[in-house]
Structures are given as C-alpha cells and as structure tokens.
Amino acid sequence: MRNVYLIGFMGAGKSTVGRILGEALGMEFLDTDQLVVERAGLPIPEIFSRFGEKYFRKLEREVIDEIAGKRGLVVALGGGAPMDDENWRRLRGSGVTVYLRESPEVLAERLADDDTRPLLVGHSGEARKERIRSLLASREPRYLEADVVVECRGRRPEDIAAEIIRRLGDAGLGSEDFR
C-alpha cells in the first residue's frame, strides 16, 4: 500500500494526471497545494504575500509529513516540495516518486496567463519564459532522482496516467502494491 507521488514543475499536469491515476488504481487522490490552502484558510498567492514563501514551505512540510504516514494515496506535490531534503526523504521512504517531465516551452505556454503562481508574479512574456527556464533548471536535478521519469511532451493526461501504470508494472510494482 505504497503512495504514488507525482512531482514536477508547476503546470506539468500533476493534479490532472493524479486524479486520473487515482481513479484507475482505485486510490484516493490528494493535492498538497490544496491541503496547504485548507490548512491556512487562504489561497496560495495570499499565503505568499502575507506570510512569505518560508511560511508556505513550513505548511507544505507539515502536510507532507502527515501524508507520508498514510498509505494507498496518489499525491500531486507542489513544484518546490521535493527541493526540501526532509520532504524528499519522506517521499522516497513512503512511496514511489514519478516525475512528470515537460518542456519549458509547453510550461511557459500553459502558465502564460496564470496569475495564481507566486513565483511567477511580476514576470510576463519573455521574462516569464526565462523565469520558468531558470526555476526548472535549478529543480530538475532533484526531479530526475525520481523512481520513474515520464516524458509528457504535451500528451493527453489519460495517456500519461496509462504510461505511469505501465511503468510501475514494468518496475515490478503492480496495482496491488498501491492498495
């Protein structure tokens, strides 16, 4: 009854794929960003503006600590969550990590008009694309440590979820390992 943790950059489709994957595996789906919002009683942009990123990361760490003590979950993690070494240790110790790898170009297109991402606020057009490239470059070494890396290439979420299930099976982790 291990957890499946979906990691990757904002806009990679972790929440969308996670819901589909959870349904296919008969597992509960959780989104750490949503859990942080519920815990704080505030939307993420407001958490960042009122209390700062450090406070957001503290709440995120608490949520991940609780999730890591449970089993049989599909969890979409915020893009920065795996960067915290303690989070990463908990994730790796309680489940399988799956990196949804998407190109900076696709991410920039998906996030072009998204004003809900605090780390992109104040960046638009080419500056936003460069910010995405820079953040992704700093995070990708950790993301690539995931147990499974799935090249998304702008594919449909259903196809990505099906590939994850196949890859978990190829790794000797059938659906019975997640129930």
Per residue in 106-135, pLDDT (tens digit) is: 999 999 988 889 889 889 889 999 999 999
Number of domains in the chain: 1
Whichever domain contains 32, its CATH number is 3.40.50.300
How far is it, in rounded angstroms, from Cα 173 to Cα 162? 14
Q: What is the DSSP string of 21-70?
A: HHHHHT-EEEEHHHHHHHHHTS-HHHHHHHH-HHHHHHHHHHHHHHHHTS
Query: What backbone phi and psi angles, to 5 degrees, belong to 165?
Result: -60, -45
- Residue whose tokens read 């407001």: 46
How far is it, in rounded angstroms, from Cα 110 to Cα 120? 13
- What is the average per-residue pLDDT within 170-174? 66
- For 166, the 3-state DSSP assignment is helix
Per residue in 6-38, pLDDT (tens digit) is: 999 999 999 999 999 999 999 999 999 999 999
Is the entire prediction scored with pTM above 0.85?
yes
Q: What's the mean per-residue pLDDT of the chain?
A: 93
- Amino acid 176: pLDDT: 54
Instruction: Give the pLDDT band (50/70/90) at residue 173.
Output: low
- Higher-confidence residue of 154 and 140: namely 140
How far is it, in rounded angstroms, from Cα 102 to Cα 10? 10
Per residue in 30-87, pLDDT (tens digit) is: 999 999 999 999 999 999 999 999 999 999 999 999 999 999 999 999 999 999 999 9
- Amino acid 179: pLDDT: 44
- What is the average per-residue pLDDT within 122-151? 95
- Amino acid 118: pLDDT: 85
- Amino acid 113: pLDDT: 85
- Amino acid 172: pLDDT: 66
- Amino acid 37: pLDDT: 97
Owning domain of residue 32: 3-178
For the chain, the maximum distance between any two Cα atoms, rounded to a whole number of angstroms, is 46
